[in-house]
Chain A
Amino acid sequence: MPKASLSEKLRGWFADDDSSSSPAESRRAPVESHRELVDTALPRDAESTLSLERRLKELLTHPQLLSAGRIHLINFANLRKRLGDSWPRLRDRVHAAADRLINQAIGPRDVQFRNGDGEYIIVFAALNRQAATLVCAKVAEELHRLFLGEPELSEVTISTAVGVVDGRLLYEEVSAADLLRELERERQVPSESAAPLPEAARDGAGVSATTPAEPRKLQLASQAFERIDTMFRPVWDVRRQVISTYMCTPVRLFPDGTSVEGVAALASISDPQRLAAADMDFLTNTVETLDELFCNKFRLMVSVPVCFETLAARRSRQEYIGLCQSVPTYLRQFLSFEFLRFPDGVPNGRMTELVNELRPFGRRTFLRVDVRQPNFTLLVGTGLTGVSTLVNADRGAEARTMEELNSFVAAAERAGLQSCVAGITSTSLAIAARAAGFTFIAGDRVGRTEEVPQHMLHFGWQDLFLRGSKRPG
């Protein structure tokens, strides 16, 4: 017997008038508060389906919610179909990405939950129908973009519960393409009668939504100091015994003097537009610095980070590529790109496409991956130069890290990729990294981050051991 979809279940639950709670009783029963009602609809692992159904039914029979057109279904059947054989392997990542995107998009009083493999239901507490539908469309679009590249928007559909007919929920289905076309039309002809859209939907990018009931946030003076600076970290080319490359490294500084760098410095940014802006800052700062050094006869390579979010969205990618096109040709041979925040399992074709977009503007492309990622078969033939990783500085964990380094390089070599490791803080890890086969090594033991990179210089094993963590020169 085929499994019922969530929409079918909803229709079924609504039609099925169980004895314990008739719709009339439900309507008569004191509905404690909107907030409480929504809270109780949140699913927990331990909750039985029956309990969830009962609560959902209460929610659905609440006329205020239903009439507002706030219940929406996003169906990812098309995404699943397009992913084909990759679906079983990517399923968890798709769900994780969908959870993240939806949670970013909805407000604290909204509810979302997943049914099985490909359906999400979202109940908006405050957004009007148009705004809520647009938020759903942006979520669906973003998810398709993450896993398939440019989405075919006409294939992305959103279902909205619009009323009850004969005790059954009535849904209206609309394609994301239609929704976004409508949005564009309204932009051109502002209508006083049109309800205000969430910021994300108005911007046509990102998926965060604001609601009238958004909780207050602390406005701390110290937040002004939480800035992201561009620094440069030397990378040791062990085979050539030279420091010839610097990694452009985002560094987030805090008022207490502490800092985090690299991917961690960007971790708190979830807005794709802010990430894209940061990426363009890194590229701009790097190229301007490189140009100045080049004019002063310095010769060195610089690797620039660029986040997946920037490349995944067409608008920010085009903006980024546009900036790349303005890089003088004589500097491109000194530029490399390091892809950050790429989700596991980006399809081979998608990766190839992104690599090819940036290859004309730099000499190498590296992909930053987790050191425990043992399989790079999806990267074969994509044009990537190599994979980079960051290791834990915990000295107590060095034995395990050494094993991970061995597995990492073995997998990279099988895929025909070079390998680079950052976070090397001890000579023991540097030796283990070289023994494992890494050709590029970075970390405090090789050299700390600097405001301006230097001319390439010889750096041998003796420098590593005798000069400690300080850079020669």
Chain B
Amino acid sequence: MPSALIIDDESMVRLALRQMLERQGFDILEASDGEEGLRLFATRPVELVVCDLIMPRSDGISTIMNIRRISSRVKIIAISGGGRSHALELLNVAEQMGADHILEKPFTRIQLLDAISHCLPRVSTGASQAG
């Protein structure tokens, strides 16, 4: 069973992502900030990381850079939109710093499944039938 790590400081976002990913057969780990996410990733590597960018104490871009230092193979989807503006600017920076795919909040389930298909083609998401 593939596993995924969700890093987001908003519990509602984590819950929504967990539900979407569990339906695709992922085993889920959750972290509420970058530091916790990095600790979890170091102890239990996963195939997919979904990481928010705007978080207190340890932001998403630094977290993505640190995860990338540990593993070049893990797939990372950066998500953002919590601020008032400039989400795309920050997502582009995340992509430059190691994210495989970016998603601007709010996004649909299909957009997430598309992103996963893009990152992990061998994981069946049924994205084309979904929705």
Report A's interface with B, CB cutoff 8 A: 395-396, 398-399, 401-402, 406, 409-410, 426-428, 431-432, 434-437, 461-462, 465
Contact = CB atoms under 8 A, between A and B. Distances in A.
Contacts of B59: 426-428, 431-432
Given A409-B84, A436-B84, A465-B97, A398 B57 contact: yes
Interface in B2-30: 9
Contact of A435 (B58, B65, B86, B96): B86
Nearest to B97: A465
A392 B86 CA distance: 23
Contact of B84 (A398, A406, A431): A406
Contacts of B96: 461-462
Interface in B41-70: 53-62, 65
Nearest to B83: A435
A401 B57 CA distance: 11
Interface residues of B, number: 25
Interface in B64-94: 65, 80, 82-87, 89-90, 93
B9 A399 contact: yes
B87 A435 contact: yes
B89 A434 contact: yes
B56 A435 contact: no
B84 A428 contact: no
Contacts of B89: 434
B65 A465 contact: yes
Contacts of B61: 427, 431, 461, 465
Contacts of B85: 435-437
A262 to B, nearest CB: 23
B9 A428 contact: no
Max chain A C-beta neighbours (<10 A), residue from B57, B60, B83: B83
Contacts of B9: 399
Main secondary structure of the interface of A (DSSP, over half): helix
Contacts of B82: 435
B85 to A, nearest CB: 5
B62 A402 contact: no
Main secondary structure of the interface of B (DSSP, over half): loop
A462 B61 CA distance: 10
Nearest to A435: B83
Contacts of A437: 83-86
Given A399-B9, A462-B96, A465-B61, A436 B83 contact: yes
Contacts of A402: 54, 56
Given A437-B83, A437-B84, A461-B61, 10 more contacts: A402-B54, A402-B56, A434-B90, A437-B85, A461-B93, A461-B97, A462-B93, A462-B96, A465-B61, A465-B93
A426 B35 CA distance: 14
B30 to A, nearest CB: 18
Contacts of A406: 83-84
B56 A399 contact: yes
Nearest to A431: B59
A19 B69 CA distance: 87
Contacts of B54: 402, 428, 431-432, 435
Max chain B C-beta neighbours (<10 A), residue from A406, A426, A432: A432
A401 B54 CA distance: 12
6 smallest beta-carbon distances between A and B, as pairs: A435-B83, A398-B56, A428-B59, A399-B56, A461-B93, A431-B59
B38 to A, nearest CB: 13
Given A461-B93, A465-B97, A434 B56 contact: no
